Amino acid sequence: METGWNHFDERGSAVMVDVSGKAPACRTAVAGGKIRMHADVLRAVEDGTAAKGDVLGVARIAGIMGAKQTAHLIPLCHPLGLDSCTVDFAVHREQSCIEALCTVRVNGRTGVEMEALTGVTLALLTIYDMCKAIDKAMELYDIRLIRKEGGKSGVFVNEKAGQP
C-alpha cells in the first residue's frame, strides 16, 4: 500500500499531481456497485415496464456521461479523453438488487479509477431517481473499485470486492 500523499505540496497545500513526466500507458479500471429495491420495482425495471421507461438504458447513458465528467466533479482529478467506457447491469432477484459494473479505458498518464467509480455511482443514482416515486427506501451499497491495471503500479485486484 502506498504511504505517501501526492495531492499535497511541501507546505501542505492541495495540488493537482504533476503527471507530465509519466509515459502514456494503457490503463483500465472496473468499478461495481449495487442498488437494493422492492421486488415489484425490480420486476418493473427488469421487464421494462417502469413508468419512466427504459431505466437501465437511461442509467447506462448516465454512467458513461458521469465517467466522462469526473474531472468536473472531483477536485484535482485530471481531465481525461476516455478511449472506452461501458456500463453493464446484472439483476439479482434473490437479493432484490441490480448490480452495475463500469469499465473505463484510456491510453494516458494517469489512471481511470475515479472515472469508473463515478460512472457506476451515477448509473445507480439514475436508477434511484427513475424509481423513487414507488420505492424511496432503495439503497445504494457495495460501491468499490474491483480491478485496475496499467501504469507504474501494474495490476490491482481488490480481494475484498469479490468478482462480479
Per-residue model confidence as pLDDT tens digits over 73-121: 999 999 999 999 999 999 999 999 999 999 999 999 999 999 999 999 9
HEC string of the chain equals CCCCCCCECCCCCECCCCCCCCCCEEEEEEEEEEEECCHHHHHHHHHCCCCCCCHHHHHHHHHHHHHHCHHHHCCCCCCCCCCEEEEEEEEEHHHCEEEEEEEEEEEECCCCHHHHHHHHHHHHHHHHHHHCCCCCCCEEEEEEEEEEECCCCCCEECCCCCCC
Whole-number pLDDT of residue 149:
96
Measured in whole angstroms, the distance separating CA 133 from the mean position of its chain's CA atoms is 24
Active-site annotation holder among 18, 88, 129, 142: 129
Whole-number pLDDT of residue 15:
83
For residue 57, give the C-alpha cell. 438504458
CATH number of 25-157, picked from 3.40.50.1100, 3.40.50.720, 3.30.70.640, 3.20.20.140: 3.30.70.640
User: Domain ranges in the chain?
Assistant: 25-157
Q: Please identify every stretch of the chain with a pLDDT value under 70, giving residue numbers as ranges.
A: 1-6, 162-164
Whole-number pLDDT of residue 162:
66
pTM: 0.91
Whole-number pLDDT of residue 55:
97
Answer yes or no: 18 catalytic: no
